[in-house]
Amino acid sequence: MRYMFSLIGEEGGWQDTSPEDMKVEMDRWEAFGREAVEAGVMVAGDALQESDTATTLRIQQHAEPIVSDGPFAETKEQLGGYYVLDCKDLDEALAWARKIPLSSGAIEVRPVMDYTQFGYNDPLHSEEASRTS
């Protein structure tokens, strides 16, 4: 089962970090990513730019969407990145979450919906399957 790991924390704080300290921090993240890839569980993952670069599309029933700058909520903590890992169960997913080198904040672990039982053929995964066949 695929799980989404949402990495949530306070933004900023990197401005005063030395290049040497930044390299040490990035090495920790690279090690986690390499371990997940080598274990065969990595599906996807990326860091996100800060929330002030976001554009939010608010969907309204029976009206045109409203486009606004910035994040969807006024809060100190923001979504900073994510991973999608293919784990056998929640216990394995939580074991991987504990390895993520987030220094503070929260990691929300949530199963990815599987609509195939309703006849949905995910175009992305159908295309991947046809390339590997």
What are the DSSP calls for 61-110, one per residue? Answer: TTSPPEEEES-SS--SEEEEEEEEEE-SSHHHHHHHHHHS---SSEEEEE
Q: Return the CATH class of domain 2-132.
A: alpha beta
Average of per-residue pLDDT values in the chain: 88
* pTM of the entire predicted model: 0.81
Residue pair 56/67 in contact (Cβ under 8 Å)? The answer is yes
pLDDT tier, 128 (very low <50, low <70, confident <90, very high otherwise): low
Which residue is associated with the tokens 């990035």? Answer: 26
Largest CA distance in the chain: 53
| Residue 99: per-residue pLDDT | 97
Token pair, residue 76, equals 């100190």
Q: Which residue has the tokens 């979450």?
A: 97
Choose the weakest-confidence range: 20-24, 70-74, 121-125: 70-74
pLDDT band at 132 (very low <50, low <70, confident <90, very high): low
Residue tagged 């569980």 (tokens): 41
